[in-house]
Amino acid sequence: MAEISDLTQRPASSIALLEEMERTYKDLPMEAIVKQDILRQGIHFLPESFQVLTPYKSKDYFIFSFDHIPLADLKDGADTKAPEEIKISGGHFGLLKTVISTRNNPNSPYKMKLKEGVPTLFLDETEIGSAEYPPIPSWYRHKTKSGKLPGEIAPVIEWGYLIYLTVFRNCQYFGKDEECAYCDINHNYRQQKGAGRPYTGVKDVDDILEVFSWIDSEDEIAKVYTITGGSVLTNLKKKSEVDFYLQYPLAIEERFPKRWMGKLVAQAFEKEDCQKFKDAGIQIYHPNYEVWDKNLFEKICPGKASWIGYDRWIRRVVESAEVFGPENVIPNFVGGVELSEPHGFKTVGEAINSTKQGLDFFMSKGIVPRFTAWCPEPYTTLGQQAGPPLVYFCELLRAWKETFELYKLPVPPGYGEPGPGRAVFSVSAFMDVIGYSGRN
């Protein structure tokens, strides 16, 4: 393990740092290392970088803000023109095409500029790669009978592969004592409404079916849909949490049976409730445990801890594998939040040791956790803070890859092709490292 004990050392991004990681982590593709660094730092889009000839899909703010500063403070067009994702290639490290989610940060050392008419990402003066922006699906041109835009009802991410249905754009875990400390779902809803944008709080099944009819007839790229949203503690529209979320796959699968792979990101449910979603046609279940350490779970996810509890949450994740099959249970954790201040681990080594225990616990049972890279959003309980150093993410990717290979697990379904140059999952590099055999 590299010298990773001192968290007070958070070296700024630089080519020298990336080259050091390249030498130290030969088992990780450079595409993954650079991707994690860009995700942790965000991107500063210069106004010129929006002057491209081909129309592209901008951020739909599909669930959280995933920005480092408030929407109202984003200048020079970044609030409306930043692309959903970028696909970079070439540059100093000769990267294969790498898809990365956009997190606006005007203070980032990563600057998107225009070079000979092509958006190009720079770190200081060094070119990291030329960039493509995602295409706009043809069906984005329609409007529903109720007057809604497809990008608001059923936006696509992962370069068009995943249709993301945040059917409830709030969470009933509310305020500091209940909201997960890294999550800005409620705040993002308020800032989107405050900016005067159409941003539906609870999505209508009929709107979704209408958009899906266009996707069905016009789209060849989308393969998967995700149903998700905030937690429901009492009821929503007179429905329990299970009944509320269940209505969506029931309607979609009845109308378009198995046309796409259905996923559910929701709380950890008891087996009987999991069975209802399985019977409705959901194939992949993401009961996200967020952070493995029990003490941190209680501090960082206070609502989940008090309403469900850590032990029950973990038990439910494990038991849900009996319903969906272990390879179809893919719980997420928030990579790096175990290093957050004030409650997190003080060293990268401690954080990795803890998180690796969680990986081993689940992967030994055939369940493959995945992670998203923590983005310290300003309106969250944790607020703006430096976030983990790059070496943490390199250690995390190594731990994930080693454990995944140790148990000889299959490629997680519903994420497209794995490996550098092919992965489309854009909020962490776990798919980019699969199958990589290392370099000299």
The least distance separating ligand SF4 from the CB of residue 107, rounded to whole angstroms, comes to 25
How many other C-beta atoms lie within 10 A of the C-beta of residue 327?
16
CA dihedral 53, 59, 60, 65 (to 10 degrees): -170
* Choices 50-58, 173-181, 245-253, 391-399 (CB under 6 A): range interacting with ligand SF4: 173-181
Q: Which is nearer to ligand SF4, 45 or 277 (CB)?
A: 277
Contact with ligand SF4 (CB under 6 A): which of 36, 41, 188, 231?
231
Q: How far is the CB of 170 from ligand SF4 (least distance, A)?
A: 8
Among 66, 110, 173, 225, binds ligand SF4 (CB under 6 A): 173
Q: Which residue carries 């983005």 as its tokens?
A: 375
User: Omega of the bond prior to 342 within 30 degrees of 0, cis?
Assistant: yes
User: Cβ-count burial of 219 within 10 angstroms (0-12 exposed, 13-18 middle, 19+ buried)?
Assistant: middle
One of 71, 165, 171, 391 touching ligand SF4 (CB under 6 A) = 171
CB closer to ligand SF4 out of 304 and 401: 304
Three-class SS string for 306-343? HHCCHHHHHHHHHHHHHHHCHHHECCEEEECHHHCCCC
Beta strands in 179-337 (DSSP E): 224-229, 261-265, 282-286, 332-335
How many angstroms separate the CA atoms of 339 and 405, rounded?
A: 26
Cβ-based nearer residue to ligand SF4, 262 or 287: 287
- The nearer residue to ligand SF4, 128 or 329, going by C-beta atoms, is 329
Q: Does 180 bind ligand SF4 (CB under 6 A)?
A: yes
Q: Which is nearer to ligand SF4, 159 or 189 (CB)?
A: 189
- Least Å distance between CB 299 and ligand SF4? 13
31, 420 Cβ separation under 8 angstroms:
yes
Q: Are 371 and 333 in contact (CB under 8 A)?
A: yes
For ligand SF4, the closer of residues 104 and 231 by Cβ is 231
Looking at 20-28, 115-123, 177-185, 271-279, which segment touches ligand SF4 (CB under 6 A)? Answer: 177-185
How many CB atoms lie under 10 A from the CB of residue 277? 24
- Give alpha helix (H) positions in 60-199: 78-81, 150-153, 185-194
User: Does residue 284 interact with ligand SF4 by CB under 6 A?
Assistant: no
Least separation in angstroms between CB 173 and ligand SF4: 5
β-bridge mates for residue 290, sequence order: 333
Separation CA 150–CA 211 (nearest Å): 6
Pair type for strands 370-373 and 110-115 = unpaired
Residues paired with 119 in a beta bridge: 114
Q: Does 344 bind ligand SF4 (CB under 6 A)?
A: no
Nearest to 372 by CA among 97, 40, 62: 40
CB 185 to ligand SF4: min, Å: 4
Nearest-CA neighbor of 377 among 340, 412, 343? Answer: 340
Residue 183 C-beta: closest distance to ligand SF4, Å: 3
- Pick between residue 214 and residue 277 the one whose CB is nearest to ligand SF4: 277
Smallest separation (angstroms) from ligand SF4 to the CB of 101: 17
* Residue 184: CB minimum distance to ligand SF4, A: 8
Region binding ligand SF4 by CB under 6 A among candidate stretches 148-156, 179-187, 350-358, 415-423: 179-187
Q: Could you tell me the smallest distance in angstroms from the CB atom of residue 365 to ligand SF4?
A: 23
Of 187 and 223, the one with the shorter C-beta distance to ligand SF4 is 187
Q: Which residues contact 71 (CB under 8 A, 6 or more apart)?
A: 65, 79, 191, 192, 194, 195
Among 31, 85, 179, 241, binds ligand SF4 (CB under 6 A): 179
- Which of residues 230, 326, 388, 389 is near ligand SF4 by CB under 6 A? 230
- 64 residue type, one letter: F
> d(Cα 302, Cα 214) in Å, to the nearest integer?
41
- Binding to ligand SF4 by residue 183, rule CB under 6 A? yes
Residue in this structure with the two tokens 């109202």, named with its chain if needed:
72
Q: How far is the CB of 17 from ligand SF4 (least distance, A)?
A: 31
Among residues 169 and 223, whose Cβ is nearest to ligand SF4? 169
Please, which residues have CB within 8 angstroms of residue 217's CB and are 6 or more apart in sequence? none
What is the SS3 string spanning 176-210? CCCCCCCCCHHHHHHHHHHCCCCCCCECCHHHHHH
Supply the minimum distance, in Å, between the C-beta of residue 168 and ligand SF4: 9
Binding mask 100-129 for ligand SF4 (x = CB under 6 A): ------------------------------
By CB under 6 A, residue 185 contacts ligand SF4: yes
Contacts to ligand SF4 by CB under 6 A: 171, 173, 179-180, 183, 185, 230-231
